[in-house]
Amino acid sequence: HGGELGFDKVIWNVVDHHATTHEAVLVLSYFSKDGESGFPGNLSVTATYTLSYDNSLKLHFSATTDQETPVNLTNHTYFNLTGASRDILDHVVTIKSQNYVPVNQDLIPLGYVSSVSGTPLDFTTPTSIGGRINSNFPQLQIGGGYDHTWALSDYNPSLYRHSSPKLPSPPPPPVIASTVTDPLSGRTLKVSTTQPGVQFYTGNFLNTTGKEGKLYGQRYGFCLETQHFPDAVNQPNFESILLKPTHSYEQTIIYAFSTTGGVESKL
């Protein structure tokens, strides 16, 4: 969503691709010129995708700039653990967070975090998406469902803050942000990250045609976009997303897939 032309709408260069007995790797790069979409600085970005034989997909972002500029990269993949045979409302979600970021009527953060306790945004224990999504809680009515950032409980800014000269050596591992399970099939997605927040979006405005002409309607997909808090450049209480020329941006997302004994396997 950055500027007029997001990085999802530009052509990336293939830097490397290779495979071993344990993983397949694809390295992409993009050079964003000074002034592109209104952003200052020449920004060099690398995205490394690693597909491992343990059924995990790791995405590592790195970036450098020659002028101070905001950088907040994430992945907006839609998931449906049923294989899109039905909507996602029966998916069971856990988010490791005690606080979320409230938004205004335009879905822009208000600049502070609020406790999830006693609200439909409490996913500290496994809860179905559809269980409370249609409640009259004002924050859910604004966007027609979940479309908020959760502040991850295990995030440690002293270890992960990209504005420090470099990450500790060895780099700290990503922390678990969320786990999602489809009870019927038993398919499970576990998302880990080095980022401080995760945007949980339930496809409230989804209406598109996918593979083989299949229609993906409202709530037929969910996103878990790990990132720094949205609108951080305008919110003094949020951790800065300004990248300096003397520093590098390094962030990681891991999507790990597994299966458990779902209802279908017992039929």
Residues labelled catalytic: 76, 225
Residue type for position 3: G
Q: For residue 18, which phi and psi values (nearest 5 degrees)?
A: -160, 165
**Which CB contacts under 8 angstroms, 24+ apart, belong to 57-60?**
57/254, 57/255, 58/252, 58/253, 58/254, 58/255, 59/252, 59/253, 59/254, 59/255, 60/250, 60/251, 60/252, 60/253
CB atoms within 10 A of CB 256: 17
Element (H, E) at 242: strand 242-243
Q: What is the DSSP letter of 228?
A: S
Q: What is the DSSP letter of 9?
A: G
9 burial class (0-12, 13-18, 19+ CB within 10 angstroms)?
Answer: exposed
